[in-house]
Amino acid sequence: MRSNPWVVISGYLLVFVNTLQLNLLTSWTLFQEVLFYSLFGVLLASRRVGTTVFAAWFVLSIVSLVHPGPVVWSFYLGNPLHLLFGFGMLAAWLLRSRPNLPARRFIAVGGVILFCAFIAGDIYGYVPVPLGLVAGVGSTFLLIGIASREDQGILTIPRPLRFMGDASYSIYLIHYPCFMVCSPLLYHLWVRHPIPIAIPFIVMLVSGVAAGCLLHVYVERPLLRWLPR
């Protein structure tokens, strides 16, 4: 897969070109984001056209739940998980247009939905796309409730947690290759020097989070400061 030039080209462009394979497993979300931002650019250029495009995109994403179609459509262009972008847009609109939302109710409802989704996922043994969307609904309710309380000055997020939130996407992107590097090294050390199995897992956890934080501070932040210019 790594010798396929289309995989390399797609990885640089963050647009699938003649392949749906990935060099970095977690980067599939970046491909979806670039697709979303391309459509959002249409919305910025023309609200009427952009609204129509987004409405059609979300409707087709719902249709994909029942009729998946070709892989390039169900996985990429019409992935039902694109509805999560719509949930985020709805959350942003509610928080901007209605400053006094019933935050506690949103948090309670979101918590119940998310808890039920976790239980269902444990029963299934995996997370099918419809269940992922249910979890997305619960997360959206929680996000609206917590953000509303923060906007109202009721809730203050400690600075370390805000930093972890800012770095969360970098942590997500880098943790997988970090684990791939650390796990064989830790395994060989563990075979030679048996220690409680929890210790290697803690080392992997800390290394993944630390690598993500470094990526955020030295790559993501400088890029975000540079891009608006």
Q: What is the pLDDT of residues 57-68, one digit of tens each?
A: 999 999 998 888
Of 1-5, 133-137, 223-227, give the lowest mean pLDDT range. Answer: 1-5
Q: What is the pLDDT of residues 106-160, one digit of tens each?
A: 999 999 999 999 999 988 888 889 999 999 999 999 999 999 998 888 888 899 9
Contact assessment for residue 68 and residue 19, using Cβ atoms and an 8 Å cutoff: no
Quick check: pTM over 0.85? Answer: no
> How far are the Cα atoms of 82, 92, 226 from residue 87, in angstroms, in the given order?
9, 9, 29
Q: What does the pLDDT average to over 50-57? A: 94
Assign 21 a pLDDT band (cuts: 50, 70, 90): confident
Instruction: Please tell me the distance from the alpha carbon of residue 127 to that of residue 58, in angstroms, as a whole number.
Output: 21
Contact assessment for residue 23 and residue 11, using Cβ atoms and an 8 Å cutoff: yes
How many alpha carbons lie under 13 Å from residue 189 in its C-beta half-sphere? 12
pLDDT at 75: 87
pLDDT at 70: 86
Of 2-11, 79-88, 146-155, give the lowest mean pLDDT range. Answer: 2-11
Helix axes 129-151, 83-97, angle to 10 degrees: 20
User: Residue 66 is which amino acid?
Assistant: V
pLDDT at 209: 95
Instruction: Please tell me the distance from the alpha carbon of residue 164 to that of residue 143, in angstroms, as a whole number.
Output: 16
Residue 212 has pLDDT above 90, yes or no: yes
Q: What does the pLDDT average to over 23-47? A: 89
Assign 229 a pLDDT band (cuts: 50, 70, 90): low
pLDDT at 134: 95
The residue extents of the domains of the chain are 1-78, 80-156, 159-226
Contact assessment for residue 1 and residue 7, using Cβ atoms and an 8 Å cutoff: yes
